[in-house]
Amino acid sequence: MQKEFNYKNVKKIGLVARPNSNLDAEITNLESILKKKGVELLLFKESSQRLNLASFELNELFEKSDFIISLGGDGTLISLCRKAYEYEKAILGIHAGRLGFLTTLSLQDTPKFFEEFFQGEFRLEMPFMLELILETKRGEILRKNAFNDIVFFRKQMNSMVSIEVFRKGKIFNQYFGDGLIIASPAGSTAYNLSANGPIVYTLAEVFILTPVCSHSLTQRPIVLPRGFELEVGAKDCVLCVDGQEHYEVDEFKSIKVGLSDKGVCLIHPKNRDYFQILKEKLNWGN
């Protein structure tokens, strides 16, 4: 299970900024806010080349920090969630640019947020991640996690892909088309949504299978509970983890997917309303 989060013991906070961005002014402002609280801001070494702050490689940053600030957009936060899951550290997403589904705290609201945070007035959410187990043809086991989704898609644009999904050794379903999305609840509003998959509440203990451009009108998305472990088989196909890691399916003897048994800890302002964010982002009621 996730380690207990104790805001009273926070002394060092790590920060990772959106790649290839100059956010020095924003980082300096955050450093000033935290310094007044007696908290040291540590920096991922690639987040700035000019600031005179203690900077570290990513693994060391996670080891030294009580929690991590993701400064950027949803993509930056998602890339850190897998590392946070590994180190059992919480993440606070602060958006610098377009407002996302996950990074809902704005820079101008950070002074107020940290005043409330150090009084214990904040929210913790622990959405479950997807677990991916890859077995190579040499018998080596690779374990990966995805915050949003694991996507299987065709390698050749002029052909469709056939994907077989098994449960307990029996065929569960077979998909013909452009690919298959396996999404977490948090990832239901990402690629899954654009492929007409369902929106699922972030903290639900389920995951989603959504076909991409299926060649059969009877193939529809399906929501499955935690505890279902699926094995996926396909040829001439690529799998992608959170849009950031790619693997050739043919290189593996076995590919298993399910929902993780623990979540990644996300820090939110106390007044964050998931359904209000959905209304604003999707223009519900307009």
> Residue 44, Cβ neighbours under 10 Å: how many?
23
Q: How does 56-66 read in b/e, with b if 16+ C-beta sit within 10 Å?
A: bebeebbeebb
Antiparallel, parallel or unpaired: β 252-263 and 230-234: antiparallel
CB 104 within 8 A of CB 94: no
Which one from 66, 74, 242, 261 is the annotated catalytic residue? 74
Phi/psi-derived region of residue 243, left when phi > 0, alpha when psi is between -120 and 50, beta in every other case: left
Is residue 191 part of an annotated ligand binding site?
A: yes
User: Is 74 annotated to bind ligand?
Assistant: yes
Strands 128-136 and 141-146: antiparallel
Long-range contacts of 115-119 (CB under 8 A, 24+ apart): 116/269, 116/270, 117/7, 117/267, 118/7, 118/10, 118/37
CA dihedral 229, 131, 152, 246 (to 10 degrees): -150
* Residue 250 annotated as part of some ligand binding site: no
Rg of the chain over CA atoms, in angstroms? 20
Contact between residue 283 and residue 22 where contact means Cβ atoms under 8 Å apart: no
d(Cα 140, Cα 148) in Å, to the nearest integer? 25
Asked about 66 being catalytic, the answer comes back as no
178 is in an annotated binding site: yes
Q: Is 149 annotated as a binding residue?
A: yes
Q: Is 21 labelled a binding residue? A: no
133 vs 260: CA distance, rounded Å: 11
174 is in an annotated binding site: no
Is 75 annotated to bind a ligand? Reply is: yes
189 is in an annotated binding site: yes
State yes or no: 193 annotated in a binding site. yes
**190 appears as a binding residue in the annotation:** yes
Annotated binding site: 74-75, 148-149, 178, 186, 189-194, 244
Annotated binding site for NAD(+): 74-75, 148-149, 178, 186, 189-194, 244
Active centre residues (catalytic): 74
